[in-house]
Structure 1
Amino acid sequence: MNIMIADDEEFIRLGLEKILTKMDLDIKVIGSYSNGMDAWSHISKLGDGELDVLITDIKMPMMDGLKLIEHLRGRTIATIVLSGFSEFEYARKALRHGVRDYLLKPIDKVNLYDLLVKIKQERCEQQSDSAALGAVDLPQEPITKEKEHHVIEQMKAILEEEYGKNFEMERMAETVGMSANYLSRLFKQETGMTLTDYLIDIRIEKAKQFLTDHPNLKNYEISQLVGYSDPVYFNKLFKKMVGETPKDYKGKHR
């Protein structure tokens, strides 16, 4: 799996390279750049399939991460955005541009590994599907607009019901009988939001309800109820989304 890194902080680039090369995923870092312009200069010369994953920071000199991501449209490159809490809104905007996921700094090695495993599995599945379709011309049931609408409504219902559980795109895709990539694109196309954004909105609204209706619950309990195991992350995310901490919100709505 060929990976490129773009981040203006050298210690982050070097740290990422060290982490990636130690993973048992047959990873090759084919480029490491301090700005989006240099990264794009390299990417633009690559053929389709020569770069599998781009890991990029958002704020960089010469060309920022969002502009770099826009240049990737039409290319089959999975993009992971790095961000701090101060850049959370930028990260949400990046997700709307088709970014696969974002990782908060400091980078959690386990989260990065799990994400790369998923990307690699999906790529292998796509290659297998393409080979199978090339070998056998199987009749396929057309996906109608009605079916697409039904799937989206089914997805919304699942997220509303299971917002407190770990989000697993592959499991959800199996439930509705579509590939994860197709489902992700369809959801964005039909709702204007990524699945991640949609789930975050649900979780924050549910958290507001718990804070208002069950004021005796501790913040860490509400955090777990809405699907976040880290209460510090939950508090910061809530403040970013709502404009005030859970404690302040509870105080105003008693």
Structure 2
Amino acid sequence: MNIIIVDDEEIIRLGLERIISRMDLDVNVIGSYGNGMDALNQIMKLNPDELDCIITDIKMPMMDGLRFIEHAREKMDRTPVVVLSGFSEFEYARQALRFGVMDYLLKPIDKKQLYELLRSLKHKGVDESGKEESPVESAEGRSGCSDPQAGEHYVVDQIKAFLDKEYDRNFELERLADTTGMSPSYVSRLFSAQTGQTITDYLIEVRIEKAKQFLVDHPDLKNYQISQLVGYSDPVYFNKLFKRMAGMTPKDYKKRNAK
């Protein structure tokens, strides 16, 4: 798999090259550029089948990432693009999704996330036309809305609905990602950016609220039974978590709210 890296920070480019070179994925960095203009000039010399992925920064001199992606799409309309972004630049990353960006990575780069992304890219299927659909484009289609931000809200609502329904099951980010048609890393970062909390924190809130309902509505249930009903196999851990979230033990909560 051939990759081009575009970032005006040399230390970032060299670091990515070094990380990728040590992966067991047969991935080759065939170009490394400090701005979008130089990268675009090289891309125009390549055939579409000679480039499998573009990893690019957003803020760069001469030609920023958004313009670069837009122009690169004229030649490489089917080539997956991954955006590098600082958390404060999420709005720019969101705009880039309009140009068919498949995912984005937050700086500093998480090696495991990069590995999983490249591995999934190698095995990722494409539709009959060969063009991959960006995560938010896919969400827009399912929500019936052409606004990228509305598409993101739809995905977050979909995630919440999934967790609200299956709070009692073992949490698997991969299974959750499958329901949205997105990569696990993208789902996790999108949820955090939209809600200000992690998926795990949201799930804990849901489980504790369900536990409160069981304590009040079914006072005959034992503590370990309620623990299992809300997805925790360890009642001791459940007790500690409940006290941290509710400010009291399940036993005290049951007494205070007895009907």
Do the two structures share a fold, i.e. TM-score over 0.5? yes
Same amino acid, percent of matched pairs: 49
Aligned-partner SS, 1:3 = strand
Q: Shift in Å at residue 109 of structure 1?
A: 0.3
Residue number in structure 1 paired with 2:179: 172
Q: Shift in Å at residue 227 of structure 1?
A: 6.7
Report matched runs for 1:113-192 at 5 Å: 113-122=115-124, 125-126=125-126, 152=143, 158-162=158-162, 166=173, 171-172=178-179
Does the C-alpha gap of structure 1 residues 49 and 114 become closer, same or farther in structure 2, counting only changes over 3 Å? same
After superposition, what is the alpha-carbon deviation per residue over 1:52-84, rounded to whole angstroms, capped at 9, x for unaligned? 111111111111111111113252111111111
Residue number in structure 2 paired with 1:108: 110
Distance in 1 of aligned mates of 2:58 and 2:160? 30
C-alpha contact (below 8 Å) 1:163/1:203 kept by paired residues: no
Residue number in structure 1 paired with 2:201: 225
Residue number in structure 2 paired with 1:94: 96
Distance in 2 of aligned mates of 1:72 and 1:27? 21
Q: TM-score, normalised by structure 1?
A: 0.57
Aligned-partner SS, 2:38 = helix
C-alpha contact (below 8 Å) 1:55/1:80 kept by paired residues: yes
Distance in 2 of aligned mates of 1:82 and 1:96? 15
Residue 57 in structure 1 maps to residue 33 in structure 2: no
Does the C-alpha gap of structure 1 residues 11 and 108 become closer, same or farther in structure 2, counting only changes over 3 Å? same
- Gaps in structure 2 of 5+ consecutive residues: 130-138, 145-153, 165-170, 205-259
- Gaps in structure 1 of 5+ consecutive residues: 131-147, 174-179, 185-194, 208-219, 229-254
Distance in 2 of aligned mates of 1:105 and 1:202? 14
C-alpha contact (below 8 Å) 2:188/2:199 kept by paired residues: no
C-alpha contact (below 8 Å) 1:203/1:227 kept by paired residues: no
The answer to which of 28-37 and 156-165 deviates more is 156-165
Q: Shift in Å at residue 113 of structure 1?
A: 0.4
After superposition, what is the alpha-carbon deviation per residue over 1:221-254, rounded to whole angstroms, capped at 9, x for unaligned? x7623379xxxxxxxxxxxxxxxxxxxxxxxxxx
Give the superposed CA RMSD: 3.8
